[in-house]
Chains A and B, each alone.
Chain A
């Protein structure tokens, strides 16, 4: 595979091929980072598009010459984009529509598709899948930014500890510790949410008279 510094150089000169290679290489990591932080796929796709368009606009001025620096730059853009998304949402008034919203429609369509492809799943199971993912998103949002970036670098982009350390400007041991704490926190949050959901589920059943 072509060295990243040459790829970056070619992309800076405006070569489409180099830009495509970079895009394909980093799409999983950036999409994974964003999808792990926003509640639905459509938003994740919108924000991912925004990040890569910014990459196209800014790559001419970028001085990074190695993979770690480039990944750090892209993740920085992604972080700012996600933060902007949440900031905008804070300022938006909460509207309750009597018609099903776009996200709800999309969720409905996805559940239908899921049910069609997995006939053994019942609607309750598909709703659970959707709710589960929201739980994961909440758990990931509860992590620190460094922990999130370690998880993306190690698990989605598949970088070794040394590369992630360069990306974050930390030592290898610090990255290992961040990785351990990130997975530990995620596990604890998920376990807690699982427990409370099970408890609320049990309470609902009890109120509904279900044995």
Chain B
């Protein structure tokens, strides 16, 4: 005999089938008496189940059912619009090719956005993302917009580039610093032109004030960098300061008075503006020891001279970090004979016409002020090299200067 739960289930299923067929329940279900040969325990449970099924308490009122159905449909009308959209997206996404394209686009969008975001934070021009940042800024700037907006954008861009410089002000990033400095100057100049071209309106006045503020900030910032930089970058920065209207040193002429005998002491007389007391001598961009002194409007250094020295540029390094140099050098023997080589006079690299201190720039073939001081040309019996003080390293501008000097030297030989 089957266990009770099994027997109960069989009986319930039989009753269920009977009721589906529309058959009346047997009398023993309705009464408490049991049919002969039946299972009384199971009968009682089946009867209880039938009573539960039939009780009106567990059956919903038809009016309530209708009313609730209407409420549900109303509710569904407000709730299910978003679900339809989701189903559309799900169906669309179910197509393999479309799904792949969608995922690919999403990935590209994600990667592109992340890269642009990362690039926007980059301030180091050596970083590969810097090019992306420049491109992004270029796109922004080139978009058509009103002149006021364009000028504002140019100004902001110049300020961004100034901020970029702060991360590069060290000898370790010399090249990047020079590039960023040039970049800043170019953007500053663009912003200044854009503001200048604005019609006379309040915007122009306001942006003009902002430009002046940027100029003052830039001067202060660049001055702050000077002492952290190597000599070539100091020269560039001094030059930039000059263009920003700052007071910078400027060399007019350099005269080297050679000693009468080899291994004697040469005198280097530097004429110029804003050369400060305590300035150091620069020969070929390198600091040479020894203090100079002012003597009748010129700054005079006396340095050991072996006779092998070959100076292409002479400059000074002020105590405040500003620097200036020139290639307009006049050599003069102790007997009064001179050799003016012409060249550039500059606060930094370039054409020697920086800031508010214009100067004549002599060339090898057209001697300028430096070489036009009435000195006789002397031809040293051997090349001039400052053997003890100068290392063999040459900077790019030295290479150019060397070429000029070589041409000049050869051209003036008898």
Contact = CB atoms under 8 A, between A and B. Distances in A.
Contacts of A187: 44-45, 48
A8 interface: no
Contacts of A16: 73, 76-77
A108 interface: no
B13 interface: yes
Contact of B9 (A32, A48, A155, A176): A176
B58 A31 contact: yes
Q: Is the interface of B mostly helix, strand, loop or mixed?
A: helix
A12 B57 contact: no
A187 B44 CA distance: 8
Interface residues of A, number: 44
Interface string A50-62: 0011011101100
Interface string B59-83: 1110011001101110111011111
B5 interface: yes
B73 A156 contact: no
A27 B8 contact: no
Interface in A162-176: 173, 176
A14 to B, nearest CB: 3
Contacts of B87: 12-13
Interface string A137-178: 000000000000001001110101100000000000100110
Interface of A: 12-14, 16, 19-20, 23-24, 27-28, 31-32, 35-36, 41, 45, 48-49, 52-53, 55-57, 59-60, 133, 136, 151, 154-156, 158, 160-161, 173, 176-177, 179-180, 183-184, 186-187, 190
Given A56-B80, A136-B55, 18 more contacts: A12-B87, A13-B87, A14-B80, A20-B72, A27-B68, A32-B58, A45-B60, A49-B71, A133-B55, A155-B49, A156-B58, A177-B5, A179-B5, A179-B8, A180-B8, A183-B8, A183-B45, A186-B52
Give the 7 A-B residue pairs with the shortest CB-CB distance, closest first: A14-B80, A60-B83, A180-B5, A31-B60, A32-B58, A183-B45, A176-B5
